[in-house]
């Protein structure tokens, strides 16, 4: 059932006292009811105001059907000082364009390629924070969220949508958001874990069927292949629990682990290399303590092959990053091995750096790396 724009105006923003049950996975009785819309611009004109904070779902779940429309709407109506909060979005990140200065300002917890220039030029902000602590920013009210833009599956027969490829901090953000807009996409894989949202929690749903943003595996250099082989043969034991960060080195390690047995995955993110090892019988998760027998992740980037693997896969759970990246949870698993990339290594002291030692930010400090370094060391 589609609603006219006039009905959207009745969709007053929620406050803490609007209704008692704020758990996204539980149905709620609320007024006004959910509104289905055809026009993205109609719902954005009601939802987003000057001075608002807008949270955007990220990684492979970036709602590309909503972001360009949001930017176009902001320019058209003359919005001012809208904060766009996210971990990392895929695509053009139109809100970072120079002509959006004064309209939108990005505030990200990770520095990706689509916001690096804006951050280093002073048009956008980076918040250094451990990944496991980001949900607390929302739960403690440090950053109140006015509008959340999330990317979900169509509701099932019980009315549940799934956040699919990315739970990370999105569950925390939408739990406290005053207005929730969902981009419904039949191509989003349905996953188990913390990413279930009952349809009654949305203020508006917009149908936008499109393939998810993909990251093709990069071609590894000879040096990267050698590094991956050295790590796999000397530092990864049978029965180890693996965390893999972003970059060619984690990919290189995964490529040469097919001789290992009973590996487990407990990682904030994963990509296509995990699928190969599951199919080869190397990843069983049988030695893990946390979620034994199942892959644990919080978000992912990869190709359609990965998304197909994730869809309705009971051997995989996508959980809140405050849990996945908690060092006290990480250390419960056996032989935790954290594999991450770095940009610089000090040749005099045993120190490495994930971002260059120059007055420019590359990926930023904090994130998942330190969470898993601590968890592996405990």
Angle at 131 between CA 142 and CA 267, to 5 degrees: 150
Cα separation, 203 vs 189, in Å, equals 22
Spatial contact of 377 and 330, defined as CB atoms under 8 Å apart: no
- The residues facing 162 across adjacent strands are 196
C-alpha–C-alpha distance, residues 156 and 152, integer Å: 11
* φ, ψ (nearest 5 deg) of residue 192: -95, 160
HEC profile for 142-185? Answer: CCCCCEEEEEECCCCCCCEEECCCECCCHHHHHHHCCEEEEEEC
Asked if 87 contacts 93 with a C-beta cutoff of 8 angstroms, the reply is: no
Provide the 8-state DSSP code for 36: E
Give the active site residue among 90, 94, 224, 268: 268
H or E stretch including 244?
Answer: strand 241-244
Q: Which helix (H) or strand (E) holds 345?
A: strand 344-345
- Region label for 168, one of left (φ > 0), alpha (ψ between -120 and 50) or beta (otherwise): left
The whole-angstrom separation of Cα 313 and Cα 330 is 22
Question: Can you tell me the distance from the alpha carbon of 10 to that of 293, in angstroms, rounded to the nearest whole number?
Answer: 47
Is 94 an active-site residue? no
User: Is beta strand 269-270 parallel, antiparallel or unpaired with respect to 204-207?
Assistant: unpaired
3-state helix, strand, coil in the chain (%, to 5): 30, 20, 50
Catalytic residues: 268
């Amino acid at each position: 059932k589609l609603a006219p724009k006039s009905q959207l105006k009745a969709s007053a923003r929620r406050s803490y006292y609007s209704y008692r049950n704020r758990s996204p996975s539980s149905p709620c009785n609320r007024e006004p009811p959910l509104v289905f819309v055809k026009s993205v611009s109609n719902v954005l004109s009601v939802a987003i105001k000057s001075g608002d904070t807008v949270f955007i779902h990220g990684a492979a779940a970036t709602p590309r059907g909503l972001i360009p429309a949001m930017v176009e709407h902001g320019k058209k109506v003359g919005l001012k000082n809208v904060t766009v909060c996210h971990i990392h979005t895929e695509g053009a990140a139109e809100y970072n364009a120079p002509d959006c200065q004064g309209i939108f300002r990005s505030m990200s917890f990770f520095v990706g390629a689509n916001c690096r220039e804006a951050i280093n030029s002073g048009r956008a902000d980076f918040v250094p924070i451990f990944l496991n602590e980001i949900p607390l920013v929302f739960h403690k009210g440090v950053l109140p969220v006015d509008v959340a833009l999330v990317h979900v599956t169509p509701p099932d027969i019980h009315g549940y949508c799934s956040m699919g490829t990315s739970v990370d901090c999105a569950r925390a953000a939408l739990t406290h958001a005053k207005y929730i807009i969902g981009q419904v996409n039949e191509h989003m894989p349905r996953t188990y874990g913390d990413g279930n949202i009952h349809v009654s929690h949305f203020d508006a749903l917009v149908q936008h069927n499109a393939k998810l943003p993909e990251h093709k595996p990069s071609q590894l250099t000879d040096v990267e292949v050698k590094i991956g082989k050295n790590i796999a043969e000397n530092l990864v034991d049978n029965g180890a629990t693996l965390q893999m960060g972003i970059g060619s080195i984690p990919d290189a390690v995964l490529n040469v682990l097919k001789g290992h047995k009973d590996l487990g995955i407990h990682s904030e993110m994963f990509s296509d290399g995990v699928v190969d090892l599951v199919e080869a019988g190397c990843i069983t998760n049988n030695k893990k303590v946390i979620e034994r027998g199942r892959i644990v992740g919080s978000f992912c980037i990869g190709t359609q092959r990965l998304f197909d693997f994730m869809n309705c896969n009971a051997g995989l759970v996508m959980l809140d990053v405050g849990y996945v990246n908690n060092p006290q949870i990480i250390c419960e698993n056996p032989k935790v091995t954290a594999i991450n990339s770095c940009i610089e290594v000090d040749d005099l002291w045993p120190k490495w750096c994930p971002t260059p030692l120059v007055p420019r930010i590359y990926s930023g400090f904090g994130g998942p790396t330190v969470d898993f370094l601590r968890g592996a060391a405990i």
